[in-house]
Chains A and B, each alone.
Chain A
């Protein structure tokens, strides 16, 4: 039996203790509540960037879409705190990975799948997660983490459903991850 997973490059520092990292993440969420008055979010930024890109290609279709149109009322869909937060997440993750020498340009995959197969699964999973984030009004950040910390009933239901969905599908994609 093996212990928790550590980073690949030999020069890389090990990940921090999960309880230490969880405590730091919790304080970060608390800071977000206190300063911003909203929790953390991640899926909204990508959706807004996608809407902005779609608007360049097909402005009318986007402006008449009942779901996307409200995002353009204030001008650009990118004029939103979630876009800035995700920009920060990208930069914060990059800085942390650099400091710990964990930046590693590669396709991460299990030993039994090729890079092409892994990328195909990443695309399929991303498609589902992007779709589901809009349906549920958030992802593991905005619903599961933020909403659960606020004791919101629907967010706890979402959290349980995410784990249920993951555990249900995992046996079918075992080849992607496990030896």
Chain B
């Protein structure tokens, strides 16, 4: 009997006991398994150039994509506003998925409601669902604002959010003056970053352009403030806190548009805070008057930034700035826009980051990396790797297209370390698998799903991205700013040193190189 009360064995050890191993063998005879030799042959074939060519010839099938759908990004953008309840119009299962997905990454609750449309709504439209749903959500959860977005179901049948919300207000679901923003976020267009963009733009339009015809449009009276939009960012907790510190250090007055750093990081002290922090609705409205808006992620704000620019603001689009030069650029843009000097404190932090890189870069120099993830994230990380003297040889994105690929190529061309590097737009992690087999790298950077690639190909995974389900709390650390870059540097180094130790720890075989000082 394998189990015992003193030392309870769970799935890690239990199924390795002889009783279970024997059971697995018995089960196999009912499974009609592939013969071992054939299995081995096919397994080896999947690692070849021939397989890679077939794999890259795919036109219809997507396997292990590194992207999610628009509505997920919609919820991300919405929860960043004060006491705002995301309301997703369409099938209810979608909302269960978004809530679970975010909770698995942030280890936090995510509050969001659905209009629970079913077959009758598919036939007759979801107006009643909107009317009842807004009334219920408003009464139960007492939000200050409701941000409506859609699932693919509502988009396919063509529900008109603007008209539905108007009707719901007329029917008294919520008070006429209550803020209900909306954005159409079809899951079959773009990805989660598109959904973020659409909802962010929808919220700004609501406040700036007269609340869907129910109030006068605001007139811009320019002030000296800076708006910052973080974009869909798995590190939003740490990053936005770091950005606030940077702004404070330079004495910049700012508004962060969509600040989820509190609601996804509430304390365990006996009280559940359904809402916490976030951009106040007043600040969202007044953000119109800001001098300029900085987007930390260009591809998360492709519609929002031009909209803001159209109001007369200057806009700056960055690509998930990580590292020395990217942070330099961010700070210099900030200084240029505000006329305020970069603080001595930040200059010192820069020096400390450069100091750390000088101390450690010998271990990174010349190492080959593969990176995958969202368009901006991959650009930011690739830029930092080039700075460290590493070669980001495969850069892949499922939701990055031609424009993204051109930017990545531009980045490669800017550094001698980019000479042998390639960019793969609109590809998935099964493509990456072929790349890692046929053109191996030293390290892989990506989200949790990269662990399957690590297992198959042996490329050690450094977990940076979204979602990260199987490691805890990294989202609480910044990766932006000089301090953030230091975190990224340490995560990369930790993996490199761990790998060095793992590959040199066999007594009597590789005693050398198992150094105590590195």
Asked whether A and B interact, the reply is no
